[in-house]
């Protein structure tokens, strides 16, 4: 689950050495993307809505934002309060190379409710329910305040799971399966390696005092399911 309000809500003001390096890399990548999109348009005259399905490959200014749109097929859209995330243009302004696994420490319903609360100051992109239902509350384009670390918020997609870290029964077969499909899809979109360096728990975020997903989260099983889901969709 997320952090206290005010810790990470402000936009980045200046860029250090690493930031400058990132900017160089982005320019190169963006040029390639524009070239690719232009070539596709020239040869196939693809309909704009068709391109819209590949939004994460488009240069930032072209990315369509449709009310109620989700990034994962089958997810249900419920908007988080705008106070709990920051508008961005990922993966062009910030590259995405991490998926961060959370546990809500409460019911699905209560997690959705607090993410809609502007006073909460935190929210994740997705919430996975015990029965495998997935709700998306923040677009992957945008920076969700879920990791308690600005850099990790900017580079990651956050997935909450209904349940309690100290309750093994929280983590159901349906939840693991649905979450693994979601993580596999996210990793496929951004080219994130399917390993434990890139798919991490909140507890592994530098500087965090959070312990989720906790000792009952079965990482071996989860990673196996993610790889399987990735192979199945490829």
Q: Which stretch binds Zn ion (CB under 5 A): 32-40, 96-104, 108-116, 225-233?
A: 96-104
Residue 33 or 159: the one with the smaller Cβ distance to Zn ion is 159
Does 102 help bind Zn ion (rule: CB under 5 A)? yes
Instruction: Please name the residues in contact with 82: beta carbons below 8 A apart, sequence gap of 6 or more.
Output: 118
Return the DSSP state at 11: P
Query: Is the separation of the CB atoms in 1 and 212 below 8 Å?
Result: yes
Does 98 help bind Zn ion (rule: CB under 5 A)? no
Does 1 help bind Zn ion (rule: CB under 5 A)? yes
The distance of closest approach from Cβ of residue 64 to Zn ion in the complex, given in angstroms and rounded to an integer, is 30
The distance of closest approach from Cβ of residue 212 to Zn ion in the complex, given in angstroms and rounded to an integer, is 4
CA 76 to chain centre: 15
Question: Maximum CA pair distance of the chain?
Answer: 56
How many residues lie near Zn ion (CB under 5 A)? 5
Binder among 112, 138, 212, 222 for Zn ion (CB under 5 A): 212
What is the Cα–Cα distance from 39 to 20, expressed in whole angstroms? 29
Can you tell me whether residue 214 is helix, strand or coil?
Answer: coil
Binder among 98, 125, 189, 202 for Zn ion (CB under 5 A): 202
Residue 71 or 212: the one with the smaller Cβ distance to Zn ion is 212
Give long-range contacts, CB 8 A cutoff, 24+ apart: 12-15: 12/150, 12/154
Can you tell me whether residue 84 is helix, strand or coil?
Answer: helix
Q: Which stretch binds Zn ion (CB under 5 A): 15-23, 44-52, 87-95, 209-217?
A: 209-217
Which tokens sit at 123? 């929210």
Q: Which stretch binds Zn ion (CB under 5 A): 21-29, 32-40, 82-90, 196-204?
A: 196-204
List interacting residues with Zn ion (CB under 5 A).
1, 102, 202, 210, 212
């Amino acid at each position: 689950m997320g952090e206290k309000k005010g810790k990470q809500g402000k936009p980045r003001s200046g860029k250090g050495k690493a930031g400058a390096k990132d900017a160089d890399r982005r320019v190169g990548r963006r040029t390639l993307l524009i070239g690719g999109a232009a070539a596709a348009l020239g040869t196939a005259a693809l309909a704009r809505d068709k391109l819209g399905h590949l939004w994460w490959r488009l240069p930032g200014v072209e990315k369509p934002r449709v009310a109620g749109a989700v990034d994962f097929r089958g997810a249900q859209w419920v908007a988080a309060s705008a106070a709990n995330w920051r508008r961005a243009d990922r993966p062009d302004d910030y590259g995405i190379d991490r998926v961060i696994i959370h546990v809500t420490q409460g019911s699905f319903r209560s997690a959705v409710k607090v993410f809609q609360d502007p006073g909460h100051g935190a929210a994740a992109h997705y919430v996975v329910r015990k029965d495998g239902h997935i709700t998306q509350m923040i677009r992957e384009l945008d920076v969700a305040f879920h990791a308690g670390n600005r850099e990790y918020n900017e580079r990651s997609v956050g997935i909450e799971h209904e349940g309690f870290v100290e309750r093994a029964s929280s983590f159901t077969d349906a939840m693991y399966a649905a979450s693994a499909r979601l993580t596999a899809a996210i990793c496929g979109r951004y080219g994130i390696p399917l390993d434990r360096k890139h798919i991490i728990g909140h507890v592994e975020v530098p500087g965090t005092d959070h312990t989720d997903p906790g000792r009952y989260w079965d990482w071996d099983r989860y990673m196996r399911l993610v790889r399987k889901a990735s192979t199945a969709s490829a």
